[in-house]
Amino acid sequence: MKAVRLHAKWDPRSDFKLGNKDVEGKVSWLGSKVWRYPEVRVEELPEPKIKRLSEVLIKVRACGICGSDVHMAQSDENGYILYPGLTGFPAVLGHEFSGEVVEAGPEAINRRNNQPFNPGEPVTAEEMLWCGYCRHCADGYPNHCENLHELGFDVDGAFAEYIVVDAKYLWSLRELEGVYSEEKLFLAGSLVEPSSVAYNAVIERGGGIRPGDNVVVFGGGPIGLAACAILKRAGGARVILSEPSEVRRKMAQELGADVTINPLKEDLVEKVLDYTQGMGAKLYLEATGVPQIIWKDLEALIWKARGINSTVAIVARADVNVPMTPEVFQVKRAQIVGAQGHSGHGTFPRVISLMASGMDMTKIISKKISLDEVPEYLTRLQTDKELVKVTAVNS
Residue positions annotated with a catalytic role? 68, 71
Which of 99, 46, 106, 383 lies closest to 245 in space, CA to CA? 383
Long-range contacts of 139-146 (CB under 8 A, 24+ apart): 140/344, 141/344, 142/341, 142/343, 142/344, 143/200, 143/340, 143/341, 143/342, 143/343, 143/344, 144/340, 144/341, 146/21
Calculate the alpha carbon distances from 295 to 105, 160, 317, 320 in Å.
49, 39, 14, 12
The phi and psi torsions of 276 (rounded to 5 degrees) equal: -105, 15
Query: Do 59 and 186 form a contact (C-beta atoms < 8 A)?
Result: no
Which of 291, 288, 283, 292 lies closest to 312 in space, CA to CA? 283
Query: Do 212 and 82 form a contact (C-beta atoms < 8 A)?
Result: no
Query: Do 107 and 123 form a contact (C-beta atoms < 8 A)?
Result: no
Q: What is the DSSP string of 167-191?
A: GGGEEE-GGGBTTB-HHHHHHHHHT
Segment (H or E) for 7: strand 2-10
11 burial level (CB within 10 Å; 0-12, 13-18, 19+) = middle
Across the strands, what pairs with 295? none
> Sign (positive/negative) of CA torsion 334, 228, 232, 351?
negative
